[in-house]
Structure 1
């Protein structure tokens, strides 16, 4: 089903709620606004397969624009709300967007765009005016709230986060079905996590990221209610679970860490009894952090592993994970492969690059980048797709991730995967966050370096370095112990919890950026 169905069945039911203000759109209102946007875009000449860019903060009308694309055969292209003008223009021009939506809150960046996106002929701004932009509310007022005459299913095209290079659009074949047909991603999103009309889903993450948007779409397909945060705050998230009787949520591990660091009196202040499924993804979660979350929230913490540019997912329930700590799920041998650098399949327990075996008709490719698309494929199997993760399938058949190929440290010919070191460091009580990567070493090629964000009130010192070195020797193999430590006020992470490791690493490789 899609929102038009629920606009008829439960017109006054809240579809989207802005948690910061309490303002909302009912299904009737969301459906009407998305119909108007769909008609506006059709009037301006957009047709099936065209791109629509969205440069907005989490906003009450965000999903109206998304659903306008999804019912019009268009591709919605959400943009990182923290992009600067050059970055926005790059994505808009790269994907060939014919229309873009923004808000007055994004005005400092958006005002510079009209001269930089010549191929994008229709620029709409909400909540105010900007030179060169058309007022969204005025344009919509001229459109009918009735559904478009022809409704075909559209899609969302996300851009990769850019943590290992310039972001690329991940393009999948456009579905050739009516807008009311069942979305292909429903089984591994809505059905897998028991999303239905009674679901109240809390989204503390940005809409522009692929995983939150996927779940927001699933919630509306089921007739549930979406509650969104404009920006994550640890205590506010708990308050919202109690206030809105949230049933489902999705998190990244850094959010878990911040909630766990709240004083126990704050953590125990809120009634979380309605909360029955808490999903996490997007970045690896240290096992100790997850154990603490399960001890606090109970056996409701579930996980899935996939990516914007993936051809599949794995998932693991809380009960399974407690039996196989650190795993991201059982690996179907027909769907998940771990391969050596030469393409041969790795033995059980041997690390290698993780591939998903995809259906040929649904394989992703990188827009305008055939070289990167080829690099994401197995050398002998065109339908084996990798996002660059390194993992191992153990004898029990479960998949464990060990890092990213781009950040594998090769020291003296030995491969070192930073994730295990980062997981160990972040569990130290004096460490708030950790990044580990390779830096030049004349003899060994690379050596292990740790850049740390310390817990509040902790000051860097030589004694602390000695303490951390001794600690690491008890947690990881000796050759994995960092040779140097650096302390920063705050590590750069995306809103979805991914370390911006490339920028940190490149600073140490001025003559050889990798």
Structure 2
């Protein structure tokens, strides 16, 4: 997040302007500056935070996390979020893998946090019991020496860990100035914008976009990531103009407007969607309900934002993820890591100024082409003659899984679904039917659609819900275990 000096600039320019909103709490820029400075004094004088190299946190979104982000940004100490819905093994692995000097936690996660900290012999800070004293005037009279802090730039984040233990994504050079400059110039963001955070802060996109609008002096609103439908009303109540959403959250938000659970229209001028396959049907519904404000991006924790599809691009090619963004280069590789011709499916590889330097303690899959290092992603796709990128599947070269997904979502009575290919290349389709839908008829229609697409057979299951992570990824391991898919 933005450091204390930048907060001071915003407080001087926009003293009456809200910087941060959580529920009924509205924090103006001068208050955010004051609380961050107090937090800094407490961290330095009570916890010797100047000696910290890295800090991890395990907490849901709340305004105190933004204050801590600002404090550690001022100290140039990476403050790295953990997926609090992950397994204990994954959380402990993450804290250990970044060699954290301290663990900040919300009381809800006290048992796990204290156990991890005990095993690693590191100090802890509880948001409920200790942070209030850091935000009080207890340390106001104590010296705060911040000038001349010299630390090499370091940015750390974690992959989702859906297929195992999360990997640590490491960057040793900033790219905010270039990417933010492009976004501001192309989409005309400014200090009047109100940005809704719809994802947990451990998701790198949430912190990146929030940082953009805080750097402009705009307002950041914290949504409840566990209750996506509530965000539709929040968008209206708080006059949200910009937000980032993953498709499962957007589906619930659009449904709230479609069913008139929320009757007023939002003031949205820019919505960007990514992080998971964005179904064609949902793209059209979103544009119909929210207007020509819907944009799609493709990229990853490792590579940043690498394509953007504007509303007119989405209408023209709804099954594409758009055109390559300035500063990125994407190629399609065949099985021999040679560039495939236009229209031929292969592995997606990305070069970008946003690319990670690498993983900590693990080698990344990359290829050098014309002296540029391209990160090889798990995704398969192709380019058309106009330069639009189309994706087919993740980690499977045989099937166009997204084509199946898009076709099935046209079937009446389906609320949500997930298509999976197992290790034997068999198709598994998990259907979440709408309330009181005819499940038998849905099953018949699904099998017919699959056969029309050229698949001889598929395992179709009706499920009560599709399990998603807080960052919008389907928990494939949960589905496999529950339904014994190998």
* Fold shared per TM-score above 0.5: yes
- Match in the other structure for 2:414: 431
Matches for 1:26-37 after TM superposition, within 5 Å: 26-37=28-39
Q: Which of 200, 215, 222 is the equivalent residue of 2:194?
A: 200
Alpha-carbon RMSD: 3.0
Equivalent position SS for 1:347:
coil
- Match in the other structure for 1:56: 59
- Match in the other structure for 1:495: 470
- Match in the other structure for 1:98: 101
- Match in the other structure for 1:339: 333
Matched residues in 2 for 1:26 and 1:383: separation? 43
Matches for 1:379-418 after TM superposition, within 5 Å: 383-405=373-395, 408=396, 415-418=398-401
Asked if the contact 1:252–1:497 (Cα under 8 Å) also holds between the matched residues in 2, the reply is yes
1:407-437 CA distance string (max 9 Å, x none): x16xxxxx11322212222332222222222
Task: Return the offset for 1:465.
Answer: 2.4
Task: Return the offset for 1:496.
Answer: 2.1
1:25-69 CA distance string (max 9 Å, x none): 221222233233344444544459821112111111111111222
Matched residues in 2 for 1:507 and 1:488: separation? 10
- Match in the other structure for 1:290: 283
Task: Return the offset for 1:399.
Answer: 0.8
Matches for 1:322-471 after TM superposition, within 5 Å: 322-331=315-324, 335-359=329-353, 363-370=356-363, 373=364, 375-377=365-367, 383-405=373-395, 408=396, 415-439=398-422, 445-458=424-437, 460-461=439-440, 463-471=441-449
Asked if the contact 1:189–1:214 (Cα under 8 Å) also holds between the matched residues in 2, the reply is no
1:45 and 1:268, CA in 2 relative to 1: closer, same or farther beyond 3 A? Answer: closer
Aligned pair count reads: 476
TM-score by length of 1: 0.84
- Match in the other structure for 2:233: 239
1:330 and 1:25, CA in 2 relative to 1: closer, same or farther beyond 3 A? Answer: same
TM-score by length of 2: 0.88
- Match in the other structure for 1:281: 274
Asked if the contact 2:154–2:172 (Cα under 8 Å) also holds between the matched residues in 1, the reply is no
1:51-105 CA distance string (max 9 Å, x none): 1112111111111111222222111211112234433222111101112211223
Equivalent position SS for 1:388:
strand
Asked if the contact 1:491–1:499 (Cα under 8 Å) also holds between the matched residues in 2, the reply is yes
Matched residues in 1 for 2:479 and 2:372: separation? 33
Matched residues in 1 for 2:313 and 2:355: separation? 29
1:221 aligns with 2:215: yes
Matched residues in 1 for 2:257 and 2:269: separation? 23
- Match in the other structure for 2:147: 149
1:365 and 1:460, CA in 2 relative to 1: closer, same or farther beyond 3 A? Answer: same
Residue segments in structure 1 that go unaligned for 5+ positions in a row: 129-134, 176-180, 410-414
1:353 and 1:207, CA in 2 relative to 1: closer, same or farther beyond 3 A? Answer: same
Equivalent position SS for 1:100:
strand
Matched residues in 2 for 1:202 and 1:51: separation? 27
- Match in the other structure for 2:10: 6
Task: Return the offset for 1:500.
Answer: 1.9
Task: Return the offset for 1:380.
Answer: 8.8
Residue segments in structure 2 that go unaligned for 5+ positions in a row: none
Matched residues in 1 for 2:376 and 2:70: separation? 30
Equivalent position SS for 2:425:
strand
